[in-house]
């Protein structure tokens, strides 16, 4: 079962809308439905474009506008993002038109690309602006923990996820006991990407040539971005997560551009554990609560195994950040 589309227009009506909003005559090449938006590849006589379509009732327009502001900031800093047109809307949708970026998806097992991806994340965090537009974000640690508890409550009584949730609840209680919000206030912060994974990057000749999808960008300790990328970087792209050496390669690349503090290295295992629970809970919500993508059921085993062994491999991973080579 695929994600439901966000676009409530026929192809002809969509083409007319693009012409009305952006003054372009286009043909539709491809339509892909995602969890938050529908992406439409368009072709004019001379150029290719990507149109992202959001349903108004499902998104915060201030969050979308912040992602666009962040994209502009990255472009001015020389980072490889797509140029975009203005945010437009009709009664039910928001539209953002982008110029198409040329590149290819990540090649699983390509250590050079992993190092380049880690370096680019380090550069993103260094380029983050201090402005936040009209948005004020609550502490992300508290927000993530509260969201997990809320979603687990909604899935209470579902036999398919009951054992997983019971394990997650024990893990989260331990993390909340060990780490308090004030303990995180001195951690280095950035405007984080929010979903920095292979699906949101384009590569060419071993380098990152495209950074995509800033819909969930926000201010937070940068460890949230780094930990999520380390465990979910090749989710969907490959059947299994990165192995320890591959995660180490990514982390070394990051540290070459944006060095981790000693406190961040100490807390990395805890952030990795939280990131795994966060991603797995999102998949549980999509597959079992929202029931919009049943194919996700096959994604769980290798990541649940990674979580079950997190306290065995995570402390070793932090050591890769001390390697100055490469």
Nearest Cα neighbor of 179 from 135, 218, 224 is 224
- The pLDDT of residue 33 is 92
Cα 311 to the chain's mean position, in Å? Answer: 24
pTM: 0.94
Contact partners, residue 36, CB within 8 Å, separation at least 6: 54, 58, 59, 215
- The pLDDT of residue 292 is 85
- The pLDDT of residue 62 is 92
Our CA dihedral for 265, 321, 145, 54, rounded to 10 degrees, sits at: 150
Domain parsing of the chain, residue ranges: 11-99, 112-322
- The pLDDT of residue 326 is 41
- The pLDDT of residue 15 is 96
- Domain 112-322 top-level CATH class: alpha beta
3-state secondary structure of 195: coil
Q: What is d(CA 231, CA 242) in angstroms, rounded to the nearest whole number?
A: 7
11-99: CATH architecture: 2-Layer Sandwich (3.30)
Q: Do domains 11-99 and 112-322 have the same CATH topology?
A: no
Nearest Cα neighbor of 103 from 213, 29, 211, 196 is 211
Cβ(88)–Cβ(22) below 8 Å: yes
Instruction: Report CA-CA distances (Å) from 122 to 117, 207, 273, 312.
Output: 9, 14, 21, 26
Averages of pLDDT over each 10 residues, the chain, 326 residues:
82 96 96 93 96 96 94 94 96 97 96 98 88 78 97 96 98 95 90 96 98 95 97 95 96 95 94 98 94 85 97 89 59
């Amino acid at each position: 079962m695929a994600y439901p589309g966000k676009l409530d227009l026929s192809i002809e009506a969509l083409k007319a809308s693009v012409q009305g909003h952006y003054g372009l005559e286009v043909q539709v090449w491809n339509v892909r439905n995602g969890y938050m938006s529908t992406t439409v590849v368009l072709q004019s006589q001379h150029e290719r474009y990507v149109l992202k379509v959001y349903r108004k009732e499902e998104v915060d327009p201030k969050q979308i506008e912040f992602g666009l502001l962040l994209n502009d900031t990255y472009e001015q800093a020389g980072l490889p993002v797509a140029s975009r047109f203005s945010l437009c809307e009709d009664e039910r949708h928001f539209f953002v038109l982008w110029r198409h970026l040329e590149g290819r998806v990540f090649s699983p097992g390509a250590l050079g690309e992993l190092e380049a991806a880690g370096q680019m994340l380090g550069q993103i965090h260094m380029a983050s602006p201090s402005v936040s537009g009209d948005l004020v974000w609550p502490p992300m640690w508290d927000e993530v923990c509260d969201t997990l508890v809320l979603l687990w409550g909604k899935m209470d009584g579902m036999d398919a996820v009951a054992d997983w949730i019971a394990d997650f609840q024990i893990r989260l209680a331990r993390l909340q006991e060990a780490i308090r919000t004030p303990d995180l206030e001195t951690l280095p912060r950035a405007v984080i990407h929010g979903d920095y994974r292979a699906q949101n990057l384009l590569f060419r000749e071993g380098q990152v040539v495209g950074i995509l999808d800033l819909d969930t960008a926000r201010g937070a300790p940068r460890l949230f971005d780094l930990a999520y990328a380390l465990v979910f970087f090749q989710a969907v792209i490959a059947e299994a997560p990165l192995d320890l050496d591959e995660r180490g390669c990514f982390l070394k690349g990051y540290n070459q551009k944006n060095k981790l503090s000693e406190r961040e290295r100490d807390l990395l295992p805890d952030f990795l554990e939280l990131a795994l629970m966060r991603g797995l809970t999102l998949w549980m919500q999509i597959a079992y609560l929202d029931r919009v993508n049943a194919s996700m059921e096959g994604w769980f085993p290798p990541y649940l195994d990674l979580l079950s062994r997190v306290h065995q491999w995570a402390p070793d991973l932090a050591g890769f950040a001390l390697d100055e080579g490469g």
